[in-house]
Amino acid sequence: MGQIFAGLTFTAVFLAVGVAMMRRGKAPRVAAIIMFIAGCGLVGSWFQGFATKIASVLPGALVGFIAFFCAVGFVLDCWGKKNHAGKGTAIIGFFVPLLLVVMPVSVLGVNPDDLIKGVKDVTQQSEMLTTGSRN
């Protein structure tokens, strides 16, 4: 059971702070950014695997549009002095990092987990070269 929730303590702390700030209604832009940081903790967890499976079934254009729309909406709501950040922005901000990581699965057909595994394999198989002086 511990493996399922491994690494999610980071998310839990920021999620608790973000929800508390949303409920109080003070500093909505800060609450939205904290929720975005909490969403970054979902990347690499079993939530990402679950979301990847769902995104691979849906049409690529739909997932790409949702990810782009949510990311642009989040940035524009938090931008500038007259921002429109609120509870909706904070909730969307929680899912934006996960959507941005899962989007390549549907749009490009590239699974980020396979890509990361491939990079790790290449770096582990590379040899270390040392320079030495010839005497």
Nearest to 73 by CA among 98, 92, 86, 99: 92
How distant, in Å, are the alpha carbons of 7, 27, 96 from that of 68? Answer: 27, 25, 9
Which pTM was predicted?
A: 0.70
Neighbours of 29 (CB within 10 A): 17
Per residue in 70-124, pLDDT (tens digit) is: 898 888 888 877 777 778 888 888 888 888 888 877 777 766 666 666 666 666 6
